[in-house]
Every structure is written in C-alpha cells, then in structure tokens.
C-alpha cells in the first residue's frame, strides 16, 4: 500500500483544467504502481465512454455502455477488479498483453461521469489495498469535478 498516492493525486486535482489535472493523475498512478501496461481515464460523453488522458499504448477511443469491463463498470456504477480478463465475457483487449484490470467509477450527483481504468500484463495484479486507493482517488476526482465545474 502506497500511503502517499492519494495525497499526490489530491495535489494535482487543485488544477482547474480537467485535461491537465487528469493527465497528471494518470502519470501519478503509473509512476506509483508497477507492472501496469495502461493507466488512464474514460469519460462519459454523448451516451458512450470516450478515451481520456492516459499513460500507455494507443487504446480504444469509443466504448459503448454495453461492452467490456468499462461498460460493466458504467452500468453497475461499481468497481470491477478482474483477476483474469481472459475469463471476463466481452472484455475489450486494447492491448493483447493485458491479463488483469481494475476499473473504478467516478460518480458525481449519482451519475457515473468517468472511470479510472488500469491494465496489467500480470494475472491477479491488483490488490484490495490498491482498489481502496483508487476508490479514494475516484472520490477525490468527483469532489474536484464539482469544485471546478467540469462537464457532465
Ligand atoms: N479493457 C477495457 C477496454 C479499455 S482498455 O483496457 C484501455 C474493457 O474491457 O472495457
């Protein structure tokens, strides 16, 4: 457990520009968590999930709400910690190296406005502690969303 990651994330959320803030948050996550091949955001926009700031290889730009781990995270408004993505029906492989995934909804006024999405080439990569850190990050991002009047 990295007790500083949430403090670092909160400091970058003082920035009022959404793209700038989320770009730095994606960098903080990828610098603090090892064995990731992707760390970033999907944003809810025009009835689908659209690629946001991230660190990693090129990724799917549009994800429908009924597809993939990210779609399930949106529909259920619940964290998806997937130990083996190959066993997840409908998983979208942006990078065929991905083996586990952690997807956390960012909820503002009861609506999912975005998601934190992390991928790893290692099966069962994500711990319960990291899940809790990303839930805290999502709550801090939701607070910044309201404070800075980001679009939803
Ligand atoms: N694997 C995700 C798609 C996004 S990429 O991992 C960056 C999914 O199944 O929804």
Q: How far apart are the CA of 133 and the centre of ligand 1, in A?
A: 20
Q: Which of 73, 101, 115 to mutate to test the pocket of ligand 1 (most atoms within 8 A of CB)?
A: 101
Residue 60 has pLDDT above 80, yes or no: yes
Residue 115 φ then ψ, to 5°: -140, 145
Instruction: Note the pLDDT tens digit of each residue in 81-107.
Output: 999 999 999 999 989 999 999 999 999
Residue 49 φ then ψ, to 5°: -100, 130
Q: Which helix (H) or strand (E) holds 143?
A: helix 128-147
* pLDDT reported for residue 152: 77
Cβ 94 under 6 angstroms from ligand 1: yes
Q: Which of 119, 120, 125, 126 to mutate to test the pocket of ligand 1 (most atoms within 8 A of CB)?
A: 119
Cβ 68 under 6 angstroms from ligand 1: yes
Give the chain's end-to-end CA distance (angstroms, integer). 32
Token pair belonging to 75: 């529909």
Q: What is the CATH number of domain 5-148?
A: 3.30.450.40
In the chain, where are the structural domains located?
Answer: 5-148
Instruction: Note the pLDDT tens digit of each residue in 7-40.
Output: 999 999 999 999 999 999 999 999 999 999 999 9
Q: How far apart are the CA of 69 and the centre of ligand 1, in A?
A: 6
User: Whose CA is closest to atom 6 on ligand 1?
Assistant: 94
């Amino acid at each position: 457990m990295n007790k500083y990651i949430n403090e670092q994330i909160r400091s970058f959320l003082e920035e009022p520009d959404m793209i700038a803030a989320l770009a730095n948050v994606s960098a903080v996550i990828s610098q603090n968590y090892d064995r990731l091949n992707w760390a970033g955001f999907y944003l809810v926009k025009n009835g689908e999930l659209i690629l946001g700031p991230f660190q990693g290889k090129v990724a799917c730009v549009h994800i429908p709400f009924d597809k993939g781990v990210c779609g399930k995270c949106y529909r259920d408004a619940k964290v998806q910690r997937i130990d083996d993505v190959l066993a997840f029906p409908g998983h979208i492989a942006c990078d065929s190296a991905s083996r586990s995934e952690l997807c956390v909804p960012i909820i503002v006024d009861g609506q999912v406005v975005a998601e934190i999405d992390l991928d790893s080439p290692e099966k069962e990569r994500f711990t319960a502690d990291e899940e809790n850190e990303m839930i805290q990050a999502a709550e801090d991002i939701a607070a910044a969303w309201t404070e800075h009047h980001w679009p939803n």
